[in-house]
Each structure stands twice: as structure tokens, then as C-alpha cells.
């Protein structure tokens, strides 16, 4: 999973922010520590960032920082759970899940009327999987089961979920967000999603 990188200097030129701002945002946890990638170059140690992620994040911060305090922004970007409880209809109305994917969720949990934060996140991951068009209804259901199993292993939601299919049989894998994954060349990586990204998106929709 090689990603395109951007150097710190180039980042400042492109976005027009200053060193002080960058460090301030890092201090406030608006930019996660993992994005600071140190590499040695011929000019010594340099810091790089994942290009796509950092550019969209800085755009978001620049847009929102006039209306919100930095602490509030930090809460929004962090993958830590927020205090919410949503009913199915509300989630559909806010565009977190489609009706179809909410039905899939209900097949698995027939008695759930109001979702906690974590349940909402899982529902949105299911929705994402279904919306991608590469994953079938039954597969989406087993994705939900895989996610729910995984929370006993991982302490937080910084995980990725991946669907691998070979000869028509699909398997869901939940892995730590920074872990490497190599699949059998005959198998096909059908779907992948970063749960912390889903959370971010979810929080933007909620607030």
C-alpha cells in the first residue's frame, strides 16, 4: 500500500500555512502523529506526509477553523467515540446509511432501535461496503459480524476492514490500521475501508 508523499516544505508552499500553524495543529491532535513520516534524504532528515490525506485535512481545518475552536475541531477529527444515540430513521435521514443497508443491519440485530456510536460506525461501514457495489448483501452481513468480533481484540477503532474473494468465496479481514496485508495473487481484494476514516466522515455528517 504505497502512498504518495508530500514533503513538509512543499506542503507549506501548496497550502500557504506557516510552520507555527502546522505545529499548533499537531499539538492539538488535528493532524495525527502517524502522518509525520520521517525519512532521511540527502539534505538530512526530512518529514513527509501522506499527500491526499494531509491536503484534505488541511483544507477542512482552514474551512472550519473560523467557526469552531481548535479543541472542538480536534474532537471532530479524532477517532474516539462521541456521545450519540441515533435511531434507524435518523441515520437514514442524515445519509449515514441507506435504507437498504439499514435493513441488512436489522437482519443481524432485529431488536436494535437506537444505535450507540460504535453501532452507528459499524452500520456506516456496512453501508459503505454495499454502496461500493462490489459486496453482496450476505457478505455485508458477515462484515458486520467480523467487525463486532474484532472489537474484543482491538482497543480502539483504528482498524481497517478488507474483503478478499477467491473462487467466489469471500473472507473478511479486520486488521490494525497501519498493518501490512498481502493476499494470494489469485485472490481479489474486493473492498477495503478504513474505519477511522468512516468515523471522521460520520462525525462530519453528525455535526
Partner 1 sequence: MQTEMGHDLHLSGHGSSTGGFYRNVHLEGLSTIDGDVVCEQCTAHGVARMHGNLRADMTAFHGKADVLGDMVTGSAEIHGTIRVSGVCDVAKILRIHGTSRLQGGVRADVLNIHGRTHVGAECVAREVELHGIAQFAQDIRAERMDCSGVLHLGGPCEAESFSCKGQVHSSGLINAERVHIRLHAKSEVQEIGCTELRVERGRGWFARRHKLVVDIIEGDHIYVENVVAKRIRGNRITLGNGVYAERVEYREELNRHHGAKVKEAVQV
Task: List interacting residues with partner 1 (CB under 8 A).
Answer: 8-9, 13, 18-20, 22-24, 26-27, 43-45
**8-state DSSP, 50:** E
Q: What's the min distance (Å) between Cβ of 16 and partner 1?
A: 11
Q: What's the min distance (Å) between Cβ of 181 and partner 1?
A: 29
Q: What's the min distance (Å) between Cβ of 21 and partner 1?
A: 8
102: left (phi over 0), alpha (psi -120 to 50) or beta: alpha
Of the two residues 44 and 185, which places its CB atom closer to partner 1 in the complex?
44
Of the two residues 13 and 99, which places its CB atom closer to partner 1 in the complex?
13
Cβ pair 64, 73 in contact under 8 A:
yes
Q: What's the min distance (Å) between Cβ of 19 and partner 1?
A: 4
3-state helix, strand, coil in the chain (%, to 5): 50, 20, 30
Q: What's the min distance (Å) between Cβ of 32 and partner 1?
A: 14
Buried b (16+ CB within 10 A) or exposed e, 73-96: bbebbbbeeeebebebeebbeeeb
Cell (9 digits) for 163:
474483503
Of the two residues 19 and 99, which places its CB atom closer to partner 1 in the complex?
19
Helix (H) or strand (E) holding 40: strand 37-41
Of the two residues 27 and 93, which places its CB atom closer to partner 1 in the complex?
27
Of the two residues 15 and 98, which places its CB atom closer to partner 1 in the complex?
15
- Compute the distance between CA of residue 155 and CA of residue 165 in angstroms, rounded to an integer: 27
Amino acid at each position: 500500500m504505497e502512498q504518495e508523499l508530500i514533503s513538509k516544505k512543499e506542503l507549506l508552499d501548496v497550502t500557504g500555512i506557516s510552520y507555527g500553524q502546522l505545529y499548533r495543529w499537531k499539538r492539538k491532535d488535528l493532524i495525527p502523529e502517524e502522518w509525520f513520516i520521517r525519512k532521511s534524504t540527502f539534505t538530512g532528515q526530512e518529514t513527509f506526509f501522506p499527500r491526499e490525506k494531509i491536503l484534505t485535512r488541511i483544507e477542512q481545518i482552514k474551512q472550519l477553523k473560523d467557526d469552531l475552536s481548535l479543541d472542538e475541531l480536534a474532537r471532530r477529527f479524532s477517532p474516539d467515540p462521541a456521545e450519540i444515540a441515533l435511531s434507524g430513521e435518523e441515520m437514514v435521514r442524515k445519509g449515514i446509511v441507506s435504507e437498504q443497508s439499514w435493513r441488512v443491519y436489522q437482519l443481524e440485530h432485529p431488536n436494535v432501535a437506537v444505535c450507540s456510536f460504535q453501532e452507528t460506525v459499524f452500520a456506516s461501514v456496512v453501508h459503505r461496503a454495499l454502496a461500493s457495489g462490489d459486496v453482496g448483501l450476505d457478505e455485508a452481513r458477515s462484515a458486520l459480524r467480523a467487525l463486532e468480533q474484532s472489537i474484543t481484540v482491538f482497543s480502539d477503532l483504528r482498524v481497517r476492514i478488507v474483503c478478499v474473494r477467491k473462487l467466489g468465496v469471500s473472507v473478511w479481514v479486520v486488521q490494525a490500521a497501519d498493518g501490512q496485508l498481502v493476499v494470494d495473487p489469485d485472490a481479489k481484494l474486493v473492498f477495503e475501508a478504513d474505519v477511522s476514516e468512516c468515523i471522521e466522515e460520520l462525525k462530519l455528517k453528525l455535526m
